[in-house]
Structure 1
Amino acid sequence: MTTLDTLKTSTLAFGRRLMGTAAAAALGLGLGLAVIAGAPAPVMAQDAALTSAPDGSPALWVLRDADSTIYLFGTVHILRPETAWHSDVVDQAFASADRVVFEITNPDDQAAALPLIQRYGIDMETPLSSRLTAEEQAKLNTAAGDMGMTGAMLEPMRPWLAGLTLSMAPLAKAGYDPQSGVELVLRARALEAGKPVDGLETMEEQIQMLAGMSEEGQMAFLRSVLEDYEKATVELDRLVAAWAAGDVESLEAIGVTPMREESEPFYQTLLVRRNADWAGQIDTMMDGEGVIFIAVGSAHLAGDDSVQVLLEQRGYTVERVQ
């Protein structure tokens, strides 16, 4: 495989795995990106099939000391509304929490996202079409049309933003909805119950991860989205099915191992470094008292560099309770 092929494969994996890992900021906003760009959100499919069994049982872990309990719950940031994932074990753990922590405090805060998208995702000097061949532009126009947009609406977008925006279109057609993502559902429940909500990172930090890709990497990502447009839901369907069944080994095989094989730098940036930072924050939380429910992308809780493994290296016992 050539260097360019490796880059292309890695950026595609990067974009797709944002669904379950790194970009809660952008994908939590989800179809709001289209709105920011000046287009209506696409209509969601109403007849999509379930991707998980009705008795959802995503994995849940817990660590405790004398006066602190912290639950770790893996999430998927975008789901079909009918996907079953609630369980008595998860609901009881959530209800017991004094505080809830996500990757970012409010992934649906479009007012906060707008200036960040404008700062990191808009390039008025270089039209997107100037970077594309006629064939690529035709594919882009078709994909944009599926979102109720036109190619002209994407002109000022940097390639990473255009690619991420367009990657949402086939998912929307298949019935996936960011508003049904786990974080937004749990955040609404937390606020209704009067629970404080915090984040491990900021929205700007997460958007910077996307915007920080090289121009070559961004273009490879956009081209991969266009080339694989018709197959966009396949990997996410597999990931959601494994997640809803609590199959952590399959989650690792789908969302972690390929990333590492395709690009060690992406793997280190998107998972390892963030997991290490989060493990440090959780270590500090354990110095306090009470019950905290932490919900982060499921890939962060799978594999040899997972948050749980890093916490165990710090001397904690992390027990799986579902």
Structure 2
Amino acid sequence: MKTIPFLLLLVSTTAFSQSLLWKVSGNGLKQPSYLFGTYHILKDSYLKQNPKVKSAYEGAEGVVVETEIDSSAMLSMAMRGLMLNTSLNKLLSEADYKLVADEFRERTGYDLALFNQMKPIVTATMLSLAYAQKQSDTLSTFTGLPIDLYFASDGRKRQKAVNTLETMEEQMSFLFDHDPVEKQAQQLVEMVKGKADMYEMSKSVTDLYLKQDLQGMWKLNEKHSSSFGDMTYLIDERNRNWMKRIPALLAVRPTFVAVGALHLPGPNGLIELLKKEGYKVEPM
């Protein structure tokens, strides 16, 4: 889906089994590894109701996640999100700025003026998170750490080898710098004007995820794919980059790879890309 990384899916003609956990074998691997699709705002108590995922994770010798927070890079990342030569109120008409400001305050509790110098994609991401969290009561039933963070931190406690597929700087570059701020601003307005679609997606995606319905999530994206501008590069380009690293990591040890679920499906998804490399990829 559009607007934020963990709500993106690719348009695909491939049908997928109802599974978020996939076994990766063959292509010279002595032991299988696993590919698991996460939901970034889901808490780790979710694993109590999904013993297959818990078992695959605990049995792996290595853990791979998208990225980890690097405190030494936080200042640099904050600067990357700034607009030094313009501001949001200059990029938008007075009417559009008020539209966004009113919605932003209602959904996040913050005054948009506080983010006037931030690139519009930052505001869009915050707003999207607010939609996802407020539209799904189900999420509040889970406790603990965000599930991706859990795999990395718990993996280290268990003395697993923990690796990332990209640095914070690489991830933020995709988010902040791929599109000019003018285009980001227009997409922000489109998102607010199309908030009814956002409400529907935010509520439905949680239900579909908990059903492990990868195909249903893809279909939901297909329905709304033209609503908020093309941001499939956040999936396509990153998947291609990750495939330069994943095979080498799998070759070293049995590994549990945890990435956003919506990186899995589609012709450019990790499932198909791994198959093209000669791996056998099976739903669990």
TM bin, normalised by shorter chain, reads 0.7 to 0.9
SS of equivalent to 1:72: strand
Query: TM-score if structure 1 supplies the norm length?
Result: 0.71
Q: Is the 8 A contact 2:40 2:147 kept in 1?
A: yes
SS at match of 2:42: coil
CA–CA distance in 1 between the matches of 2:60 and 2:165? 17
Q: Distance in 2 between matches of 1:280 and 1:156?
A: 35
Q: 1:80 to 1:217 in 2, by over 3 A?
A: farther
Q: Residue in 1 aligned with 2:15?
A: none
- Of 51, 60, 76, the match for 1:88: 51
The alpha-carbon distance between structure 1 residues 311 and 205, as it changes in their structure 2 partners (threshold 3 A), is: same
Q: Which residue of 2 aligns with 1:161?
A: 122
Matches within 5 A, 1:63-212: 63-65=24-26, 66-79=29-42, 86-104=49-67, 106=68, 108-109=69-70, 112-119=73-80, 121-146=81-106, 147-174=108-135, 181-211=146-176, 212=178
Q: TM-score, normalised by structure 2?
A: 0.80
Moved more, 133-142 or 148-157: 133-142
- Structure 2 CA distance for partners of 1:80 and 1:319, relative to 1, 3 Å: closer
* Structure 2 residue ranges without an equivalent (≥5): 10-17
| Match runs of 1:273-292 below 5 Å | 273-288=237-252, 290-292=253-255
* Aligned position for 1:59: 20
**Greater CA drift, 199-208 or 229-238:** 229-238
Distance in 2 of aligned mates of 1:264 and 1:310: 25
Q: Which residue of 1 aligns with 2:187?
A: 221
* Change over 3 Å in CA distance of 1:221–1:293 after alignment to 2: same
User: CA offsets per residue over residues 295-318 of structure 1, 9 Å max, x none?
Assistant: 111111112322121221222111
Q: Which residue of 2 aligns with 1:6?
A: none
1:108-156 residue CA offsets vs partner (Å, 9 max, x unmatched): 456533421312x212331221222232222333234332322220121
Alignment-derived partner of residue 318 in structure 1 = 281
Would you say the 8 A contact 2:36–2:258 is kept in 1? Answer: yes
Rounded Cα–Cα distance in structure 2 between residues aligned with 1:248 and 1:241: 11
The match for 1:5 is none
* Separation in structure 2 between the aligned mates of residue 173 and residue 114 of structure 1, nearest angstrom: 29
Name the SS of the counterpart of 2:243 in structure 1: helix
Q: Per-residue CA shift, 1:211-242, capped at 9, x if unaligned?
A: 22123320122102322346533212222222
Q: 1:226 to 1:263 in 2, by over 3 A?
A: closer
Amino acid at match of 1:19: F
Aligned length: 268
| Among 12, 15, 30, the residue aligned to 2:3 | 15
- Paired with 2:183 and 2:131, the residues of 1 have a C-alpha distance of 22
Asked whether the equivalents of residues 190 and 227 of structure 2 are also in contact (C-alpha less than 8 Å), the reply is: no
Distance 1:126 1:292 in 2: 45
CA spacing shift, 1:109–1:283, aligned 2, 3 Å: closer
User: 1:195: Cα distance to partner?
Assistant: 2.4
- Counting aligned pairs with the same residue, the percent is 24
Letter in 2 for 1:274: R
Q: Secondary structure at the match of 1:318?
A: strand
Answer whether contact 1:20 1:77 (CA < 8 A) is retained: no
User: What runs of 5+ residues in structure 1 fail to find an aligned partner?
Assistant: 1-12, 23-56
SS at match of 1:305: coil
Once the 2 structures are TM-superposed, how far is the Cα of residue 179 of structure 1 from its aligned partner? Answer: 7.6
The one-letter amino acid of 1:67's match is K
RMSD (Å) for aligned C-alpha atoms: 3.2
Q: What does the per-residue CA deviation read over 1:160-181, in whole Å, with 9 as the maximum and x for residues that have no partner?
A: 2222223333334345689854
User: Per the alignment, in what secondary structure is the counterpart of residue 7 of structure 2?
Assistant: coil
Aligned counterparts of 1:243 and 1:110: Cα–Cα separation in 2: 31
Q: Which moved more, 1:273-282 or 1:173-182?
A: 173-182
Work out whether 1:248 is the aligned partner of 2:214.
Answer: yes
Structure 1 310/236 Cα, relative in aligned 2: closer, same or farther at 3 Å? Answer: same
CA distance in 1, matches of 2:250, 2:210: 28
8 Å contact from structure 2 (residues 34, 256) kept in 1? yes
